[in-house]
Chain A
C-alpha cells in the first residue's frame, strides 16, 4: 500500500488542480480582509468572527463541495482520460488496493487544505482584528472552553468533508471524467446556498449531508436539536456508505475497454 500511496502522491506533481487548490485557500482570506476593511471604513470594528465564519461559509459550503468532489473524482477519472487505467490494472496490486490507496491519499490532501486555510484565515483575522477567539460564534460557551469548541468545529468539519469524499470518487468512477464530480459538487454547493439564503429550517437542511460540516461551527441562528443532529449524521452515513460501496463495486468489477 505504501508504494500505491507514494505513486498517487507523485501524480499530483505539477498538476493543474494544485492551482485550483491554491485559489480556494487564498480566496476566503482575501474576501474576509476586504469585508473587514469595508466595515472599518464604515466606522465599525471588524470582529474575528468574520474570518472564522467565512472559513465555513466559503470553504466548507460553497467552494469546498465542488473542489473536494473534484479532487476525489479526479484521481479516478484521470486514469481514464489519460489512458493510464490500462497500466494501473496490470500492476501487481488488486483493484481494491488502488481504490483504497486513491481515497487514502485524497483524505489527507483535503484535511491539509482545510487546516491550512483555517490557519491562514485565523492568522489573518487575528493579526487584523487583534482578537484570538471568535467569541460571537459561541456566545453560550464559557470562556475557558471556547478554544476547545473552535478546534472541535474545525476537526469535525474536516472529518465530515472526508466522509463525503466517496461520493465525489463514485462520480469520477462512474462518469470517467472530471465533469461528473464537478456537477455533483456544484449541485451540493447550490443546495447549500439555497438553504443559507432561504433559511430552510435545520430539521430539513439536515437531509443534505454537504451542509453537515458547519453544524458545529456556531454559525447558525439556532443550535440544532439532538434529533436534527441524528438526522444529519444518518444522511451523511447513508451517502458515505452507499457511494463507497457503489464506487468500490464499479471500480473492482467493471471491464476496462479502450482506456475508457
Chain B
C-alpha cells in the first residue's frame, strides 16, 4: 500500500508548552485513520500542521510522497479538509459558496455543486444564505465543500460536531462509502470513542501531545483482552476475596461495584461461588472483551471525560 501521509517527529511548541511532541504518524491509501484523543491532546494542532495552517517547530510532513512546506500548496488540491468549525461567507448562499469553491479548485463541471448539495442533504437550502444556517447545516456544507473536488485524501477534524444522531449516522455512512467505493483515504479526528470505533480501520491515540500508539482496528480487537465483569454488592470485600482466596492479581475496579477480572476466566464458576459463599451478592456476571475505551484508558491512564479510573491488582 502506498503512503498518503507520513509525519516524522512532528513537533509544535508554544513558548515552553509543547502542544505536539514528536508525532510519527502514517496514513496509508484507503485507510480510515481515527485520530483519537481528549480535548487539548494535540489533535487539531497536528491537523493544522498537516494542512499548512500552522508551521511545525520541528519535524517533517510528507503528503503523497512529497515533503510539505508552504511552497507545496498544490498538494492541497488533492485534499479535502474540515478543521474545527467549518466557515463560509455569510452573505452568500449554499450554492454560491460551493460554486466559489468549485472555481477555486478548478473543477469545470458546474453540476458538481448540485450533486454535492444533494449528497449532503442541502438541495432545498441551496438558495438560503449561510448566515441563516443551523450548526448542523453548516457542518453538512463544510463536508460538501471538502468533497466537491473529489479529493484523494480527506482530513476531517471533529466533522460530526453539531449534528443530530441521525445526521451523525448519515455522515458516518457517507464516509464509509467514500472509503469503500471511491477509495478515498480519510483522516478523522475525534474525542468521541464510539465515533472512531464505528468508522476507523486504523487508530492513532494521542495524549498530551504524544502519539502513544498507532494500531489497526483488527489488531486492536485481537489485542483487547477478555474479562469477567462482575456487578457486586461490596467491591472491597470482593477484591479482598479474589486476592487472598484465589490469588487473583490481574483485576480492576472499573467503577464502584463493578469488577473486571482478567485472569483465571476458565474458573468463573468458582469465582462466583467464592463471592456468594462469603456474603458478596452478584447482580451480574458476564464474560466481555475490552472496548476501545478500555484500551484508551489503559494507554493514557485517563477516561475520555478526563477522570482517572481506580485501579487495583495488576
Give the size of the chain A interface in residues (CB under 8 angstroms). 31
Residues of A close to B105: CB separation below 8 A: 91-92
Q: List 23 A-B contacts (CB under 8 A).
A: A3-B106, A10-B100, A13-B91, A13-B96, A82-B87, A82-B88, A82-B89, A82-B90, A83-B84, A84-B89, A86-B53, A86-B83, A87-B86, A87-B145, A90-B79, A92-B73, A92-B75, A94-B73, A253-B55, A255-B55, A256-B53, A256-B54, A257-B48
A/B pair count, beta carbons within 8 Å: 92
Is B101's CB within 8 Å of the partner chain A? yes
Max count, chain B CB within 10 A of own CB: residue among A92, A93, A95, A259? A92
- CB of B100 within 8 A of CB of A7, answer yes
Is B224's CB within 8 Å of the partner chain A? no
The closest CB in chain B to the CB of A84 belongs to: B87
Residues of A close to B75: CB separation below 8 A: 92
Q: Give the distance to chain A from B211, nearest Cβ to Cβ, in Å.
A: 20
Is A44's CB within 8 Å of the partner chain B? no
Kindly supply a per-residue 1/0 record for chain A positions 66-78, scoring 1 wherever the CB is within 8 Å of any chain B CB and 0 otherwise. Answer: 0000000000001
Residues of B close to A225: CB separation below 8 A: none
Interface residues of A in 1-49 (CB under 8 A from B): 3-4, 6-7, 10-11, 13-16
Residues of B close to A13: CB separation below 8 A: 91-92, 96
Is A179's CB within 8 Å of the partner chain B? no
The closest CB in chain A to the CB of B79 belongs to: A90
- CB of A259 within 8 A of CB of B71, answer no
Give B contacts to A, CB under 8 Å: 48, 51-55, 70-71, 73-77, 79, 81, 83-92, 96, 100-101, 103-106, 129, 145
Is A89's CB within 8 Å of the partner chain B? yes
Supplied contacts A82-B88, A256-B53, 8 more A-B pairs, CB within 8 Å: A10-B92, A87-B88, A87-B145, A90-B83, A92-B77, A93-B73, A255-B48, A258-B84
- CB of B103 within 8 A of CB of A11, answer no
Is A183's CB within 8 Å of the partner chain B? no
Residues of B close to A92: CB separation below 8 A: 73-77, 105-106
Distance of A211 Cα from B202 Cα, bound (Å): 63
- CB of A94 within 8 A of CB of B81, answer no
- CB of A14 within 8 A of CB of B91, answer yes
Residues of A close to B100: CB separation below 8 A: 7, 10-11
Q: Give the distance to chain B from A7, nearest Cβ to Cβ, in Å.
A: 5
Give A contacts to B, CB under 8 Å: 3-4, 6-7, 10-11, 13-16, 78, 82-87, 89-95, 252-253, 255-259
Distance of A11 Cα from B103 Cα, bound (Å): 13
Distance of A94 Cα from B70 Cα, bound (Å): 7
Q: Give the distance to chain B from A105, nearest Cβ to Cβ, in Å.
A: 13
The closest CB in chain B to the CB of A2 belongs to: B103
- CB of A7 within 8 A of CB of B104, answer yes
Q: Give the distance to chain A from B61, nearest Cβ to Cβ, in Å.
A: 14
The closest CB in chain B to the CB of A93 belongs to: B73
Residues of B close to A82: CB separation below 8 A: 87-90
Residues of A close to B73: CB separation below 8 A: 91-94
- CB of A95 within 8 A of CB of B54, answer no
- CB of B76 within 8 A of CB of A7, answer no
- CB of A86 within 8 A of CB of B81, answer yes
Max count, chain A CB within 10 A of own CB: residue among B55, B81, B87? B87
Residues of A close to B52: CB separation below 8 A: 89-90
Q: Give the distance to chain B from A76, nearest Cβ to Cβ, in Å.
A: 14
Distance of A125 Cα from B7 Cα, bound (Å): 67
- CB of A259 within 8 A of CB of B84, answer yes
- CB of A83 within 8 A of CB of B104, answer no
- CB of B91 within 8 A of CB of A91, answer no
Residues of A close to B106: CB separation below 8 A: 3, 92
Residues of A close to B101: CB separation below 8 A: 87
- CB of B87 within 8 A of CB of A86, answer yes
- CB of B71 within 8 A of CB of A94, answer yes
Q: Give the distance to chain A from B215, nearest Cβ to Cβ, in Å.
A: 28
Q: Give the distance to chain A from B285, nearest Cβ to Cβ, in Å.
A: 48
Residues of A close to B96: CB separation below 8 A: 10, 13
Residues of A close to B91: CB separation below 8 A: 11, 13-16
Distance of A103 Cα from B251 Cα, bound (Å): 66
Distance of A93 Cα from B92 Cα, bound (Å): 22
Q: Give the distance to chain B from A53, nearest Cβ to Cβ, in Å.
A: 36
Distance of A14 Cα from B82 Cα, bound (Å): 26
Residues of B close to A10: CB separation below 8 A: 92, 96, 100
- CB of A90 within 8 A of CB of B81, answer yes
- CB of B76 within 8 A of CB of A91, answer yes
Distance of A259 Cα from B76 Cα, bound (Å): 18
Distance of A90 Cα from B151 Cα, bound (Å): 12
- CB of B53 within 8 A of CB of A89, answer yes
- CB of B51 within 8 A of CB of A89, answer yes
- CB of B104 within 8 A of CB of A3, answer yes
Distance of A15 Cα from B131 Cα, bound (Å): 12
Distance of A93 Cα from B101 Cα, bound (Å): 13
- CB of B145 within 8 A of CB of A259, answer no
Q: Give the distance to chain B from A6, nearest Cβ to Cβ, in Å.
A: 6
Residues of A close to B145: CB separation below 8 A: 87
- CB of A3 within 8 A of CB of B87, answer no
Distance of A197 Cα from B116 Cα, bound (Å): 59
